[in-house]
A and B are shown apart, each in its own frame.
Chain A
């Protein structure tokens, strides 16, 4: 009988609990409606991937770097409105000119800029000095930091490589030891001497990771610098639940900045909106920003649709026809006065052939013919229209739009789908079915079974693989695919343990050189995953490095592009176009081609935001 009593009690408990739960539920809902904090401007958004942390010299992913834009001030930055992008000073007096033939760059910090308050400063205000920049640059190559961007300063600054070698030998990375090419001339002046001319060097100082940091902060929080970003920027990190919640709040000690409208394009409605919303105001205006990384597409999309988030960036392609059928805003969105901004990202995707592979590699005419035939047989329009849902355009050269060196008139015909040409080329060079199994073989009779490696747990990668298999079977070539975990894929690519694989690259700085280096022979095992080694290409690359931007360099870039098309180490993929949907109460929104976040240049119409939430 005891059991029965217990059961009845449990039943009663459930009933009671249910009532309590309902009451609590109602109470919470009511409380939400009553407690409308009218005064605070709070922005809620999602990121499409998780961050790693906020130690600028230790991070690489664009989400973490994007958030760092708000904690730290880089010496230079991009003008918020200027297009094409324009370097402007941020915490220095002016953008330096390259001296000594493009090998010396000197920055003068503005005096009176202070770090955000932090216990590491012992209650004193800490002014930004040139030494902080020197310290930060040194951090890039400190092995402890294992900076993903240490390559920026390799073989670059006079004396730095020797400094690192000495540190390795002495087993001590001595920050107090000077480096010949990094001179702190006075409290606010720092000068860099380069080993060779490099006009892209200035772009480094607009990256949100090449930013001054305070040594005492880094040393105080040595065990976990990722969680203690202390900079001179407009926001501070208020709360951080790694991989699920990032809360930024206004830095109370921030000096403030204003929107420069000098380069605004009067024909661009977004520029006009930004000018209208922000002119004459002391920025930033948002008090608190709550960011949730949501990796799954459906909830990220629905959270915006439900007004749980203020805007959605990089809207999942799968849902685009819900919001933007045939490129026009859907009626429901028009009714909500949602606006859309579409931006072409400074990035490319491609499929690499392993040039050392006995089947797809090689530089002889028959090897080149084979790769070119595979590319011609690949129906890229399906990649654009079906896989990317029309939210992309076919890439014509390795340099994407929005990047210096991009040539809109460069069209590579042999990257376009042309089945007869593909078949003719294979027949011509003897890639025909020799053993009668219905599949083509190598000219010497070896069977061909291609293998395409892609990243597991990515629908897009799978679809790209699927498209390859389809297109290859249309010309009688057998292909298998292998899904591998991310770490394995990286390893396989790095050491050339793959035949074909898909990749992508986002600009670190807006110059074509950042992309062309991906095929530079000496970068094999470093970033040249295709293992492409063509002396002529390498010669052109080295020559271009020594030139400032101009027609002469553009000509070299064009020659390199032509070689890539002719020798086909890559099948060029697409340039993706992302759509940002913005709720009407978000004012001044604009997506910058290089800078990732817009928080510094945003305003919120709080009454409108509250009114919408109550709906």
Chain B
């Protein structure tokens, strides 16, 4: 039986032990290059990542917050469509004119009324006319939803990616230790896991949000880093559970026993021998958690615990757009929904391809 295992590079105990990984990853890359879907997905993901960097550095979507159009400006391809929301915002000419109340006898500012008026006269404000249409329509303030979606991508990808990496790191480390070591440490980690998973997810999120938001030490990290932390600290449990069960399964397998026989240490068996065999689970989990966290951010935004009001994410866009569908303003929902779908799809496909490429047992 052990001879059969010798053929698999990732687990071969007889392979040159000092350099198993580079060979594995080189092989994987070669396989990936032949996978068309994988390469296209990779390209899409890279484009999104570039976009994220671009918008972060202000190269693109710099003026996303500029109110260039009228409220709910139509998309250019729907130029003629009726826009009731914008019509309403025009001043009502029939408004009754009422003389403003005179405050001069009680106003602390009264002595400087004259100076105030003079200074006011000197300040010129120019109001830029608002466009009736925008390339892909406008939001309620008249901002371009396309630029908003790009800016939103920056936040959402950042949140999804880093929260997932963080969660996978926590989940894998704890899962490996618990599944492999078992015993007292395993019990302790199981206790920890049970405590976390026994609490309904929504409560856990709200509780963490409450703890983080009211902690003075963390005040400096409010906003996006806090969302990342909330998601990671509440989202690692699923990964932990799967990795643990994988480790339980693998720990009793022959190749691990063989490794033990040749004197490999526990940590070496855990992270050098078993980990490559479960790395595809980690990757599937990473992909799923990026997806899951980008979506969880939507739910956090729905609950009002998402990113702060001066930034924008796909989540805040969707939360905003939830009432817009009924009144026929579908474009913000579409812009955020579609860009999210494209990235997430590409990301998942890429992960599938990576998984195929990395797992040498397939094909």
List A residues at the B interface (Cβ < 8 Å): 297-298, 301-302, 316, 318-319, 321-322, 325-326, 363-365, 368-369, 372, 381-382, 385-386, 389-390, 408-414, 418-421, 423-425, 427-428, 455-459, 461-463, 465-466, 469-470, 480-485, 488, 536, 561-563, 565-567
Report chain B residues within 8 Å CB of A428.
112, 115-116, 119
Q: Given A483-B305, A485-B210, A562-B103, check contact A319 B327 (CB 8 Å).
A: yes
Interface size on B, residues (CB 8 A): 47
Complex CA–CA separation, A420 to B127 (angstroms): 12
Contact at A566–B89, with CB atoms within 8 Å? Answer: no
- Given contact pairs A365-B112, A411-B101, A536-B106, a sample of 13 additional A-B residue pairs in the complex whose CB atoms are under 8 Å apart: A386-B89, A390-B88, A411-B98, A413-B100, A413-B101, A420-B123, A455-B304, A456-B303, A456-B305, A457-B303, A483-B304, A561-B101, A563-B106
Q: Interface 1/0s, chain B 136-174, versus A by CB < 8 A?
A: 000011000000000000000000000000000000000
Residue of B nearest to A410 (CB): B101
Interface SS majority for chain A:
helix
A365 in complex: contacting residue of B103, B106, B109, B222, CB < 8 Å: B109
B85 at the A interface (CB under 8 A): yes
Contact at A466–B309, with CB atoms within 8 Å? Answer: yes
16 A-B residue pairings within 8 Å (CB atoms): A318-B324, A318-B326, A321-B85, A365-B108, A381-B89, A385-B71, A385-B88, A386-B71, A411-B98, A421-B120, A424-B116, A466-B309, A469-B310, A482-B222, A483-B304, A488-B210
Residue of B nearest to A302 (CB): B326
Report chain A residues within 8 Å CB of B215.
none
Give the distance to chain A from B164, nearest Cβ to Cβ, in Å: 24
List B residues at the A interface (Cβ < 8 Å): 65, 71, 84-85, 87-89, 91, 98-101, 103, 106-109, 111-112, 115-116, 119-125, 140-141, 210, 213-214, 222, 303-305, 308-310, 319-320, 322-324, 326-327
Complex CA–CA separation, A369 to B116 (angstroms): 11
Complex CA–CA separation, A409 to B97 (angstroms): 10
Report chain B residues within 8 Å CB of A297.
323
Residue of A nearest to B303 (CB): A457
Report chain B residues within 8 Å CB of A381.
89, 91
Complex CA–CA separation, A322 to B325 (angstroms): 11
Report chain A residues within 8 Å CB of B87.
326
Q: Which of B87, B122, B140, B214 has the largest number of chain A CB atoms within 10 A?
A: B140
Residue of B nearest to A457 (CB): B304
Complex CA–CA separation, A463 to B103 (angstroms): 31
Give the distance to chain B from A66, nearest Cβ to Cβ, in Å: 25
Complex CA–CA separation, A413 to B320 (angstroms): 32
Contact at A322–B123, with CB atoms within 8 Å? Answer: no
Report chain A residues within 8 Å CB of B85.
321, 389
Report chain B residues within 8 Å CB of A458.
304
Report chain A residues within 8 Å CB of B107.
566
Contact at A412–B88, with CB atoms within 8 Å? Answer: no
Pairs A-B, 7 closest by C-beta atoms: A413-B100, A318-B323, A456-B304, A424-B119, A457-B304, A420-B123, A411-B98
Report chain B residues within 8 Å CB of A423.
123
Residue of A nearest to B121 (CB): A420
Give the distance to chain B from A579, nearest Cβ to Cβ, in Å: 14
Residue of A nearest to B123 (CB): A420
Residue of B nearest to A301 (CB): B326
Complex CA–CA separation, A455 to B141 (angstroms): 21
Contact at B71–A481, with CB atoms within 8 Å? Answer: no
Contact at B309–A414, with CB atoms within 8 Å? Answer: no
Complex CA–CA separation, A364 to B308 (angstroms): 33
Give the distance to chain A from B273, nearest Cβ to Cβ, in Å: 32
Complex CA–CA separation, A537 to B260 (angstroms): 85
Report chain B residues within 8 Å CB of A463.
140
Residue of A nearest to B323 (CB): A318
Complex CA–CA separation, A515 to B125 (angstroms): 37
Contact at B123–A321, with CB atoms within 8 Å? Answer: no
Report chain A residues within 8 Å CB of B121.
420
Give the distance to chain B from A472, nearest Cβ to Cβ, in Å: 10
Contact at A386–B141, with CB atoms within 8 Å? Answer: yes
Q: Given A365-B108, A368-B108, A411-B101, check contact A421 B116 (CB 8 Å).
A: yes
Contact at B309–A325, with CB atoms within 8 Å? Answer: no
Complex CA–CA separation, A176 to B9 (angstroms): 90
Report chain B residues within 8 Å CB of A461.
304
Residue of A nearest to B86 (CB): A385
Complex CA–CA separation, A291 to B357 (angstroms): 58
Report chain B residues within 8 Å CB of A455.
304
Contact at B309–A465, with CB atoms within 8 Å? Answer: yes
Contact at A481–B308, with CB atoms within 8 Å? Answer: yes
Contact at B119–A481, with CB atoms within 8 Å? Answer: no
Residue of B nearest to A296 (CB): B322
Contact at B116–A411, with CB atoms within 8 Å? Answer: no
Complex CA–CA separation, A481 to B213 (angstroms): 12
Complex CA–CA separation, A470 to B121 (angstroms): 24
